[in-house]
Structure 1
Amino acid sequence: MKLIQDPLVLALIVALAITVFVAFRMRSAAARSARTADVAKEECARANRAVELRDEEARHLADRVLPGLLSQWQSGAQQAEGDVRPLHPSLVQTPTGQAFQAVLDQVTGLMSEAEARAEGAAKAAVQATTRSLQDLGYELQAEVTAMITKFDDETLLQRLMPVDHLASQLTRRLQVVGVLTGMWPGRQHSNAPVLDVARAGVSRIRDYQRIRVAPSLPYYLDGRAVEPLALLLGELMDNAARHSAPSTQVEVTWHDFHNCLGIAIHDAGPGMTPEVQQRVERLLLDGENVRLTGLGNPAMFGLPGVAALCARYGFRVGLDQQHSLAGGCRAMVLVPRTMLLEPPEEAPEPRHAASTSDTGPTGHRPTQRPGESPGYDLAADGLPQRRRGEHLPMVPRTPASQPPTAPVGNAMAAFSRGIGSTTNPHITPTPKETTS
């Protein structure tokens, strides 16, 4: 192979090679520059998107999350789940997401502290007011009862019984408010028949004449649960009567279950919407967290009080619209069997001379037919028939299944039977409350 001898040709070839090499390097550099520009554009786009996500998350925090928390704190309503979660979950682990969460934690902590202070102040104020009003209510009832016992006048009795009934309603409502502040319902009792406890609840509501209580099972209730259960049943009966037509009746039935006693209250009202039923069920299940500052405006005391009583004493209450006898709503109260007692054995009567308080106007003891319970007689108009100088329990000799024929005093006689449990020897009310 011959080498190129002409220097000119050799120079041209070298120059051409250099030109090709330089052009190739320039093209490679241009390609690298183009790729670098594309990468820079992508990185710039990603940075802009990240800034947009953070801006959107900040707007979501300011426009939805914080106002939702404030609204929830003010009204007590549940905040929607979508308003609590971050708008972009990819930012949760970033410094921005952690900073936003720190802001939420601080706001939530401040709201919880403010809520606790407001609840404590509200409970203290309401409790002090309720305690003073309860004492006045008990004194009023004691005075009315003393007048009823002292004076043997049917007209005066007819005027005083509605006053006593109004005082009972006032006391019941004060007791419910007091329970929401952590107070004891206010009365101590001995063991009592469950039927008497139900009648005590009936005697504390306005529409007591519309309540029909079925015959009781042979159970007594532990004295510690007597007043709470009477108050709970009174609230549910009052709720059933107020939410049904005045011409309808409220039926109270008994169900003996394996581990509890069921007390069912049936009304003939329109029932509840699914939303209201869900809210009531949540309230009854979460009675320990009932707050005075979350009762709404206007405040609702009845069902929150029932929920608080259930949480404190171990009762359970369920509402449904499928098993009501009257086509309305049924409230089922479950009393644990640990609160139930067997009826006590009757002690034999002592054989001693009759005192003057046990004798009639002629000095002889009134005759009592076999199987007849001691108590007062009902006159033809249905009013209690009293004898001067004798003290008898507020229990009529005429059974509830045999009402008097005369219509004049039927209402008063029914009311007397209804409040019989409040003066029953097994239930001893005290004029002063006892806080737990």
Structure 2
Amino acid sequence: MSVPAPPSQHRPAKPSKASSAVPLAVLVVSAALAGGVAAAAPAGARSWTLGAVAGGWVCLALAVLTGTLLLRRAHRSAAQHLAESGTHQARSAQVSAETAHLVNITLPGLTKRLRDGASAADALTTVQPPSDPQLRQVMHTFAASLEEGVRQAATAEAERLRYREEVDRATAEAERLTSETLPAAVGRLRDGQSADTVLASLEWPRTPLLHRTAESFVRELALSERRAAAAQAASAKALSRVQAKAVSMLADLREMQERHGEEVFGDLLKLDHATSQLGLMTDRLALLMGGRSSRAWNKPIVMESILRGAVGRIAAYQRVRLHCSTTAAISGFAAEGVMHLLAELMDNAANFSPPIDEVHVYVEERSAGLVVTIEDSGLKMAPAAMRRAEQAVAGRMTDLASLQGTRLGVAVVGRLAVKYGISVNYRPSSRGGTGVVVLVPPQLL
């Protein structure tokens, strides 16, 4: 380490001969004056005068010598103090230079080496220590403290990166869980798989909290699905019994109509119609619960009978006007489904149109199949309601919890349309309300 040289010490100049000659000249001059005084004294007082003059000169000589000695001692003391002051100034300048070098060069160099990964001992060997012990102690303390700080900072950075990786992994797992795993688990549970099978077949998060949450969700959903399936199966069984009773009542009523006269025919007809409406409602609920229709036909049913059977199942049957000129028939396996589908659409058209207006049903035979158009003169459906109805009749609304009580019929239409390949579309009616176009495919004719 380069340190500026201390300033040169100026030694005090030796006393010149002139300064030494002054006291001697004083003594000589005073001796000459004393001799002159003694020579000029009267002869009788000359000895006394000579003695007095000699005593005075001796005193003067002693005084001059004493002053000279004291003056020389003062000169030596001043020179010594001046030399010590120069030494202190030089030492102070050296310490100041070493301090500046330590602050501006040594400590920044130590900081860089320690931050680059070197140890304090290795970093200290690459620099020249200052000569001052206190500065060396400061440098060693600084290096040790900085090494500890760098080590703690590296540990903290490693912990931060580890936590950041864990957070990123947990975020990615949570996103995959919500967008892929849970939907797949819900689909498999609804397909009838058990919770253990679903948990074993899918990839779940490794984060313990997410894994426990997902497992609890799957098990609770599996329990809910089992309960819902059991309730749906029980409801379907109960409804099948109600359906059987309704069919039996209809058969009894028609037998009574043939046996009894006109006096009770009107009452029996009312009971027959009420029972038909009950059959429609029970069939609707049974289909929604996963069951089947109450009746099945072994032979084809002509389209006009299909329409009349559908009209006879709704409350406002007197407001429906049929326009059917085709002789086509529906296959027996699909006759009940097509009849139920048309009954639901006619019932909706009658319920959502004014009580005094009529609902018109048109049947046309085309190369693509049989086209049935149902038109009412009620209020037009709002765009949002139209979209929901189109989703329902397309079979995309299968969750019973999302269906309103007044929209169960369109959900049944959707299930029947998907089952038999029937196309159902809504459009504005030429009579001012809403029109429904049903396309029965050729394979059902």
List aligned pairs for 1:159-198, cutoff 5 A. 159-189=267-297, 190-198=299-307
Change in Cα spacing, 1:276 to 1:191, as seen in structure 2 (3 Å) is same
> 1:313 matched to which residue of 2?
420
Unaligned ranges ≥5, structure 2? 1-5, 10-89, 117-145, 187-204
Change in Cα spacing, 1:108 to 1:277, as seen in structure 2 (3 Å) is farther
Change in Cα spacing, 1:280 to 1:119, as seen in structure 2 (3 Å) is farther
List aligned pairs for 1:342-381, cutoff 5 A. none
Preserved contact between residue 248 and residue 268 of structure 1 (Cα < 8 Å)? yes
Q: Distance in 2 between matches of 1:105 and 1:279?
A: 32
Which of 144, 158, 162 is matched with 2:253 structurally? 144
List aligned pairs for 1:28-427, cutoff 5 A. 28-29=109-110, 47=160, 102=211, 105-153=214-262, 155-189=263-297, 190-286=299-395, 290-292=398-400, 294=401, 296=403, 298=405, 300-320=407-427, 322=428, 324-340=429-445
Deviation at 1:295, TM superposition (A): 5.3
Deviation at 1:201, TM superposition (A): 0.3
Q: Distance in 1 between matches of 2:323 and 2:296?
A: 26
Q: Which amino acid aligns with 2:380?
A: G
Task: Give the total of aligned pairs.
Answer: 293
Q: Distance in 1 between matches of 2:296 and 2:315?
A: 24
Which of 22, 43, 47 is matched with 2:102 structurally? 22
- Matched residue SS, 1:214: strand
Q: Distance in 1 between matches of 2:216 and 2:437?
A: 41
Identical pairs, percent: 25
Unaligned ranges ≥5, structure 1? 1-5, 74-94, 341-436
Change in Cα spacing, 1:297 to 1:103, as seen in structure 2 (3 Å) is farther
Q: Distance in 1 between matches of 2:257 and 2:102?
A: 123
Preserved contact between residue 395 and residue 411 of structure 2 (Cα < 8 Å)? no
TM-score, with length taken from structure 1: 0.57
TM-score, with length taken from structure 2: 0.56
- Matched residue SS, 2:347: helix
Deviation at 1:256, TM superposition (A): 3.7
Q: Which amino acid aligns with 1:315?
A: I
Preserved contact between residue 295 and residue 301 of structure 1 (Cα < 8 Å)? no
Change in Cα spacing, 1:291 to 1:111, as seen in structure 2 (3 Å) is farther
Q: More helix per residue: 1 or 2?
A: 2
- Matched residue SS, 1:319: strand
Q: Distance in 1 between matches of 2:111 and 2:328?
A: 99
Preserved contact between residue 247 and residue 294 of structure 2 (Cα < 8 Å)? no
Deviation at 1:116, TM superposition (A): 2.1
Preserved contact between residue 324 and residue 364 of structure 2 (Cα < 8 Å)? no
Deviation at 1:319, TM superposition (A): 2.1
Q: Distance in 1 between matches of 2:300 and 2:276?
A: 21
Q: Distance in 1 between matches of 2:224 and 2:258?
A: 49
> 1:421 matched to which residue of 2?
none
Deviation at 1:22, TM superposition (A): 3.4
Deviation at 1:245, TM superposition (A): 0.5
Deviation at 1:252, TM superposition (A): 1.0
CA displacement, residues 362-392 of structure 1 (integer Å, 9 cap, x when unaligned): xxxxxxxxxxxxxxxxxxxxxxxxxxxxxxx
Change in Cα spacing, 1:298 to 1:335, as seen in structure 2 (3 Å) is closer
Q: Which amino acid aligns with 1:143?
A: D
User: Please, what is the CA RMSD of the aligned residues?
Assistant: 4.2
Q: Distance in 1 between matches of 2:372 and 2:211?
A: 50
Q: Distance in 2 between matches of 1:337 and 1:184?
A: 23
Q: Distance in 2 between matches of 1:16 and 1:142?
A: 122
Q: Distance in 1 between matches of 2:160 and 2:96?
A: 46
Preserved contact between residue 321 and residue 361 of structure 2 (Cα < 8 Å)? yes
